[in-house]
Amino acid sequence: MKSVNGLLVLCLVWLVTACATSGSTSAPPRASTDTPAVNTYLIGVDDQLQITVWHNPDLSVSVPVRPDGKITVPLIGDVIAGGKTPDEVSVEIKGKLEAFVRDPQVAVILTALRSHEYLSRVRVTGAVRTPISIPYRQGMTVLDAVLAAGGTTEFAAPDRTELYRRGEAGATTSYSVRLEKILQQGDLANNYPVQPGDVITVPQRAF
């Protein structure tokens, strides 16, 4: 009797594990609700930085990041900011200022995230009226992006539309979108929420 009960327990464990595994392989794309903290943001070209050196107003400046990724700070000259966090730039400026100022306290604040505006865009390409790159807005869906591109052309194959999304590891994942059902039938099952950086491609029909 004990062996039968043990067999039943093993079967139940196997079934639960199988169900959990099978349910996690076909999840539709979802919009991320996570907002990266400012101190983890990597500074980019055209970002505006406020450099503040406590008790040294002559060394405190507001500067843009140049195309070469550098900024110019009084007394120490050029400092590489592109690709770094504000904290990393602060540490580097502090280290260089120590040759001129005793125990400098440096704060680096992002006042305008201009490079982020380019990364936070959604692009619609292919058989649409106006291929377009639009700023991402919270709550934006595939339908919103396609309508902003003027809708599909008469040569489109809307039900073969693909949503391409780059993951954190750099790999790109594609999701099939039945766009014709969304546009013609109001079926919103595939009207996925989009994320910054997504690319929506509407192919042409095969003639």
C-alpha 161/C-alpha 151 separation (Å) is 12
Task: Give the pLDDT of residue 36.
Answer: 38
Domains of the chain: 39-116 (3.30.1950.10), 120-202 (3.10.560.10)
Task: Give the pLDDT of residue 60.
Answer: 94
Q: Which three-class secondary structure string do you get for 94-127?
A: HHHHCCCCCCCCEEEEEEECHHHHHHCEEEEEEC
Task: Give the pLDDT of residue 46.
Answer: 86
Task: Give the pLDDT of residue 16.
Answer: 40
C-alpha 119/C-alpha 37 separation (Å) is 16
84: tokens are 């770094």
99: tokens are 């040759």
Q: Which three-class secondary structure string do you get for 80-93?
A: ECCCCCHHHHHHHH
In terms of Cα–Cα distance, which of 97, 96, 69, 98 is closest to 83?
69
Task: Give the pLDDT of residue 4.
Answer: 44
C-alpha 191/C-alpha 146 separation (Å) is 11
The count of C-alpha atoms lying within 13 angstroms of the C-alpha of 39, restricted to the half-sphere facing its C-beta, is 5
Task: Give the pLDDT of residue 22.
Answer: 39
C-alpha 101/C-alpha 9 separation (Å) is 71
Q: Which residues contact 98 (CB under 8 A, 6 or more apart)?
A: 104
What is the mean pLDDT, run by run of 10 residues, along the chain of 207 residues? 46 43 49 44 89 94 91 94 93 96 94 78 94 90 96 95 86 93 91 93 87
Rounded to two decimals, what is the model's pTM?
0.54
Q: Are 200 and 124 in contact (CB under 8 A)?
A: yes
